[in-house]
């Protein structure tokens, strides 16, 4: 409009010179409300983490999260980081990774305020690659119902621990499922299931597997392994023992991990899967880190063209159109497991339970099949 000879109105902020805009942004009357909004956003995120995720699972993280939510100084530190780096799991794990597990809020707070620079550097360098192998217990009822042999492609594979579901043991409420090979001696992942869950009689046959990740975790690098261990919540010693057992299996098996972005590099890797196998592309707690809903929808469209079966195990908000099909909310903090866009179960975020909906058996859900 300004090119038509009309002078910009004096109160048109967008038309002012850049220098004056910078002055405006620095003025406390303008900046403080924005800061207060950011403060409130961080506080709410930590309260939600305490309520929905750790309250019944980690008393220490519950205490620390509530402490962060009400502490302006600690929140001010978090606001020096990019928004995606302020998340509770990353913050709490980074403190433990660098300084060990704190005894309580006072020790945690003083450590954070004393070691801001080291903590900021660690949080900028790391991400929450919680490679929880226990999630395989939730995936297995689906995988075991698909036409064999399987080719597995995991998006956001981290260290590749969830690429080995056929090599672990599982305890589905007393029904023990052993891996195909005896020599691995894995610890069993416990998973509480409802009566509708199709508990497998045996693991599926997998003939090809590969993972895609922005920053694959190298299990031969001790600091990388230490970071994975720091991501396990402090009281969960059994979970930590199972993680270490799974790491030993992964070090032996060396699943193939490819560095790449799920938005641009998935198609090329999918093309490598053998044509005589059922290609399953899956992910768990990954798409939640892609904040734009349009990008998540584009991914869902593309993955359907690449695979025979697409398994998503994510918070229900990630794909609202899938969650709407359920008609009821799941347990607080639970994930929604879906196959080819059809919801089949509510699952515990770490694979400790499966609440099957009695939906169509996985193998009977329409094959996408466009890759043939």
Residue with tokens 């939730």: 138
CA dihedral over 113, 116, 120, 123, signed as positive or negative: negative
Overall average pLDDT of the 141-155 stretch = 96
User: Shortest CA distance to 281 belongs to which of 293, 267, 292?
Assistant: 267
The answer to whether residue 184 scores a pLDDT higher than 70 is no
Cα-based distances in Å from 276 to 37, 151, 272, 355: 54, 9, 12, 32
Cα 87 to Cα 156: distance, rounded to the nearest angstrom: 18
**Res 369: pLDDT:** 46
Share of the chain above pLDDT 70, in %: 86
* CA-wise closest residue to 338 among 356, 329, 348, 352: 356
Give the side-chain half-sphere CA count within 13 A for 11: 0
Provide φ and ψ at 190, rounded to 5°: -80, 140
- State residue 170 phi and psi, 5-degree precision: -135, 150
Q: Which pLDDT belongs to residue 17?
A: 37
pLDDT at residue 368 in the model? 52
Mean pLDDT, residues 9-32: 37
For residue range 34-50, list pLDDT tens digits in order.
566 888 999 999 999 99
* HSE toward the beta carbon, residue 16, CA cutoff 13 A: 12
| Strand partners for 339 | 311, 342
Asked which of 174-188, 217-231, 296-310 is least confident by mean pLDDT, the reply is: 174-188
């Amino acid at each position: 409009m300004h090119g038509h000879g009309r002078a910009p109105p004096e109160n048109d902020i967008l038309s002012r010179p850049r220098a004056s805009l910078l002055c405006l942004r620095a003025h406390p009357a303008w900046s403080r409300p924005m800061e207060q909004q950011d403060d409130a956003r961080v506080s709410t995120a930590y309260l939600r983490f305490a309520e929905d995720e750790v309250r019944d699972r980690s008393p220490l993280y519950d205490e620390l999260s509530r402490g962060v939510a009400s502490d302006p100084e600690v929140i001010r530190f978090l606001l020096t980081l990019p928004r995606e780096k302020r998340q509770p799991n990353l913050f709490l794990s980074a403190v433990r990774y660098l300084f060990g597990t704190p005894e309580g809020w006072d020790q945690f707070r003083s450590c954070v305020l004393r070691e801001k620079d080291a903590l900021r550097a660690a949080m900028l360098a790391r991400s929450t690659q919680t490679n929880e192998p226990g999630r395989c217990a939730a995936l297995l009822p689906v995988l075991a119902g698909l036409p064999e042999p399987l080719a597995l492609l995991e998006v956001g594979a981290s260290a590749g621990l969830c690429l080995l579901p056929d090599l672990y043991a599982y305890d589905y409420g007393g029904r023990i499922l052993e891996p195909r090979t005896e020599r691995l001696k894995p610890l069993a992942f416990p998973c509480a299931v409802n009566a509708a869950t199709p508990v497998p009689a045996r693991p599926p046959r997998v003939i090809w597997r590969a993972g895609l990740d922005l920053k694959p975790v190298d299990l031969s690098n001790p600091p990388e392994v230490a970071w994975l261990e720091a991501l396990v919540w402090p009281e969960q010693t059994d979970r930590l023992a199972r993680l270490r057992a799974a790491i030993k299996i992964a070090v032996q098996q060396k699943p193939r991990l490819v560095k790449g972005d799920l938005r641009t590099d998935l198609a090329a890797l999918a093309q490598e899967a053998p044509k005589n196998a059922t290609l399953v592309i899956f992910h768990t707690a990954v798409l939640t880190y892609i904040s734009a809903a349009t990008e998540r929808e584009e991914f869902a469209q593309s993955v359907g063209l690449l695979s025979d079966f697409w398994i998503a195990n994510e918070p229900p908000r990630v794909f609202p159109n899938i969650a709407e099909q359920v008609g009821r909310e799941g347990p607080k903090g639970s994930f929604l497991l879906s196959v080819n866009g059809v919801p089949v179960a509510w699952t515990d975020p770490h694979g400790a339970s499966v609440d099957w909906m009695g939906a169509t058996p996985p193998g009977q859900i329409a094959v996408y099949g466009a890759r043939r």
